[in-house]
Homo-oligomer: A and B are copies of this chain.
Amino acid sequence: MANYRINKVTLDNVAQLANVSKVTVSRAFSQPEKVNQTTLKRILDAAEKVGYVVNTAARNLRAKSSKTIGIVTPDLSNPFFSHLAKFMTEEAHQNGYDTLIFDSYESIHNEQNIIDKLIGYGVDAIILAVVSSEISYNPPYFKQLKILGIPVILLDRHIPDSPFSGVYIDNIDCGIQVGRYLVNQKVKKVTIISGPKDSLVAQERVSGIKMILENYTNIETIFADFLMNEAYLATVEHLKKANIPDYFVGCNNQISLGIIKACIEKGLMPQKDFCLFSIDEVSHANIYGFKFPCIVSDLNEIAWQAINMALRRINEELSTIGNVVVRGQLQI
């Protein structure tokens, strides 16, 4: 009933075949420059012949660093996160680190398990886009990670009271840019669909918009969730009760999709019958021939900042908790 892996290949096997001690074989794989060229070749040949691969478990148990960074996001099928994950992986590779990427599928329970797993795998740092965007989110593992001294970089979703550094989008600035754009368009009536009421991101984006628009415009704000379906339902409800605004504002890419779906289902044509300003690029819009003004974030920049903050903390070049805030770009 059990799975004893039939053939285990270890350093010893390779060592025998290559007529060296296993330490030398070990070096051949971790510090090849310290091994004689001829010996090295003999070892690598032997290793290939028997199909040897370094046993990560054993290595991590002994080595000081696993050279691995854990990445956790709530939804890898959201391009915002999947692209970030890709860019971070590339940046990590360039610095000699691997990544271990997990999707918490928006579940707190999964998130906790994943964090435990990552700790168990001995990652050197964790980059974490948290499930919840509640301002007061404070899951048990926060304390745990703090105790263990594992560097944590929060991504995208800011939690003010957490003991960790983070890389965030400048949400108020996003809002301000949205507001300015709408002022230029001389809009009279705006409907904002945003994330949960208790999410800082949701609040900040809305308050940025209101800073600019408050006195000029009739604004309705709906706090729904950063998910397509919630935004869709909120928009459907809204359209039943109210007239079509001059502009909808979708506070992230999923919300924008929900708004579009609801409007199109009602027979409203984008640009003709309704206008939308999106925070984040609207997925697939260009494919289907639509174009919406939006604020786009430089995902490459965010990824670079996150990985490099992680590396600096790992190497203890950075002791204080600090945040990096990346501004979005208006794209018309």
Can you list 16 pairs linking A and B with CB atoms under 8 Å apart? A1-B316, A2-B64, A53-B120, A53-B144, A56-B57, A56-B122, A59-B120, A76-B76, A76-B77, A76-B82, A85-B103, A89-B105, A101-B101, A260-B288, A261-B286, A288-B290
Instruction: Point out which of A51, A65, A89 has the most chain B C-beta atoms below 10 A from its C-beta.
Output: A51
Assess whether A184 is interfacial by the CB under 8 Å rule.
Answer: no
- Measured CB to CB, the residues of A under 8 A from B are 1-9, 48, 50-51, 53-61, 64-66, 76-77, 79, 82-83, 85-86, 89, 98, 100-103, 105, 116-117, 119-122, 124, 140, 143-144, 147-150, 228, 257, 260-261, 264-265, 283-290, 314-316
Q: Cβ of A124: which chain B residues have Cβ within 8 Å of it?
A: 3
Q: Cβ of A1: which chain B residues have Cβ within 8 Å of it?
A: 315-316
A122: which of B57, B89, B101 is its contact (CB, 8 Å)? B57
CA distance A82 to B83 in the complex (A): 13
A122 touches B83 (CB 8 A): no
CA distance A290 to B53 in the complex (A): 49
Q: Cβ of A61: which chain B residues have Cβ within 8 Å of it?
A: 55, 57-58, 61
A103 touches B86 (CB 8 A): yes
Using A57-B121, A61-B61 as known contacts, list a sample of 18 further A-B pairs with CB atoms less than 8 Å apart, ordered by residue number in A: A2-B64, A5-B149, A6-B148, A50-B147, A51-B143, A55-B61, A56-B57, A56-B121, A76-B76, A77-B82, A89-B103, A101-B101, A121-B121, A228-B287, A261-B288, A261-B289, A264-B287, A264-B288
Instruction: Point out which of A3, A103, A290 has the most chain B C-beta atoms below 10 A from its C-beta.
Output: A3
B120 touches A54 (CB 8 A): yes
CA distance A260 to B289 in the complex (A): 9
Whole-angstrom distance from the CB of A72 to the nearest CB of chain B?
12
CA distance A117 to B56 in the complex (A): 7
Instruction: Point out which of A50, A103, A283 has the most chain B C-beta atoms below 10 A from its C-beta.
Output: A103
A9 touches B288 (CB 8 A): no
The 9 closest A-B pairs by CB, nearest first: A56-B120, A6-B149, A264-B289, A57-B60, A51-B144, A51-B147, A77-B82, A288-B288, A284-B284
Whole-angstrom distance from the CB of A292 to the nearest CB of chain B?
11
Instruction: Point out which of A65, A89, A119 has the most chain B C-beta atoms below 10 A from its C-beta.
Output: A119
- Which residue of chain B lies nearest to A86 when distances are taken between CB atoms in the complex? B105
Whole-angstrom distance from the CB of A65 to the nearest CB of chain B?
5
A57: which of B57, B89, B105, B143 is its contact (CB, 8 Å)? B57
Whole-angstrom distance from the CB of A138 to the nearest CB of chain B?
15
A2 touches B65 (CB 8 A): yes
The answer to whether A7 and B148 touch (CB under 8 A), given A65-B2, A121-B56, is: yes
Whole-angstrom distance from the CB of A281 to the nearest CB of chain B?
13
Q: Cβ of A105: which chain B residues have Cβ within 8 Å of it?
A: 86, 89
